[in-house]
Structure formats: structure tokens, C-alpha cells
Amino acid sequence: MGHSWQILASFKAAPVQHTPTDPAAPAGAGSTVITDELAFPPQSTEERAVVHRIAHILGLQHQSRGKGAKGQNGRYVTVRKRTEVEA
């Protein structure tokens, strides 16, 4: 669990990388919301459950992906953060 916690906490704390030419930040806008996404590849059901719980504690949006994949290898968790930035 410690490794997952470090990755997700670092993702939450990382500054948003966006440039003035970013299409999500139109010229003249006062502020805009940027969404950063991290695909976190835990393999087992237990690992995915831990990632979901940590994301919830940190206040990050999260969703399981690849539910139709055969076996565990195609399943992962996507974690998102939304940050308001000045344009």
C-alpha cells in the first residue's frame, strides 16, 4: 500500500503543466479547469481496491477501466484531478 500511496499523493501534489497555447485555456478567459489523468496499472482485484480507497481518501476522482478484458492484465484504474488555473 505504501508504494500506491506515494504515487497517488505525488500525482495530487504535482503542479499542473499547461501552456498558453493549451486548447483548454482559451485566450482572454479569466480561469479554466484543467484535468490531469493518471492510468494506474494494478493487476489484482485487491490492488485495484487499495488504489480506489487511497484515491478516495485523497479526494481524487477514480474509475476502473478494462472491465471487459480477459483476465486481470487488461484491468486498471484511472485517477483524475481537476485544477482551476488562471488563463
What is the set of domains in the chain, with CATH numbers? 2-16+33-86 (3.30.1370.50)
The candidate with the shortest Cα–Cα distance to 84, out of 10, 37, 34, is: 34
pTM of the predicted model as reported, rounded to 2 decimal places: 0.63
pLDDT tens sequence across 12-55 = 888 776 555 455 555 555 667 778 888 877 667 888 888 888 88
pLDDT of residue 56: 87
Higher pLDDT, 55 or 68: 55
